[in-house]
Amino acid sequence: MGERIPLIRMQNIYKWFGKVCALNNADFEICEGEIVGLIGDNGAGKSTLIKILSGVIQPDRGEIYYRGKKLNRLSVKDMRNLGIETVFQEQALIDCFDVGRNIFLTREPIIKLGPIKIINYHKMYEKALNPLKALGLGVSPKQEVSFCSGGERQGVAISRAMQFKAKLVILDEPTRALSIQGVRQVDSFIRKLKEKKIAVIFITHDIHHVFSLADRFMVLSRGKKILEIEKKDFTAEDLENLLLKVSEMKK
């Protein structure tokens, strides 16, 4: 990593849900323009880690640094203001809202009339077309999300991350429920992010898919970082075998 200051550094993170320890002294860091594949079995703590990084939940212990500066109890809004965008596994969509409203929810374009801030729907639907077109989605920004297919829903969730100027994009199982064309569009989106020096955390179960995109891999098991490897040192098969061994050790 040299002497580069990481964009994000998470140190000694602990999180308990009742008696269950979801994260047990977990560390993580990512630099600008880097793609990190976050790998682990179900319940390894991947989603908990990114929810902490997104501000959705707070860690019970541990520190988070942004460009070397310590952050204290930050909310989703604060994290988004820092340029951390997340595509959650749950997609975080409001089914009864249309596509445009879902992309811009809480960050709708506004017109200021003195102290009153009015949502500019015209601009919102116009701007919503850009990420939808970039992902090759034929869905209208005015279509209700509950009437979208699984792939379209995932596309809407990704469009939300594309719309705003991000420094770090977290993708939790982003290609789940996507068609081959959709997967290619997401891959191309991730590569474009890298070109723009935007960091990406890519969480998936598909080792071969993440291997083709990521620069570095971090393996979590039972809430702990058990392995961190550079892509150049391993092949996808090596990584797969390692994960199998980790699974067997757990049993």
* Binding-site string for other proteins from residue 96 to residue 135, where x marks contact by CB under 8 A and - marks none: xx---x---xx-x-x------xxx----------------
The neighbouring-strand residues paired with 220 are: 225
* Stretch 22-61 residues interacting with other proteins (CB under 8 A): 51, 54-56
Binding segment for other proteins among 15-23, 25-33, 80-88, 221-229 (CB under 8 A)?
Answer: 80-88
Which of 75, 188, 212, 241 forms a contact with other proteins (CB under 8 A)?
Answer: 75
How does DSSP assign 74-102, residue by residue? --HHHHHHTTEEEE-TTTT--TTSBHHHH
> Does residue 15 interact with other proteins by CB under 8 A?
no
- Of the pair 150, 241, the CB lying nearest other proteins is at 150
How would you class 65 by CB atoms within 10 Å of its CB: exposed for 0-12, middle for 13-18, buried for 19 or more?
middle
Token match 């541990």: residue? 62
Binding segment for other proteins among 21-29, 145-153, 203-211, 235-243 (CB under 8 A)?
Answer: 145-153
* 71, 64 Cβ separation under 8 angstroms: yes
Q: Is the dihedral of CA 99, 105, 110, 114 positive or negative?
A: positive
Binding residues for other proteins (CB under 8 A)? 51, 54-56, 75-77, 80, 86, 88, 90-97, 101, 105-106, 108, 110, 117-119, 144, 146-149
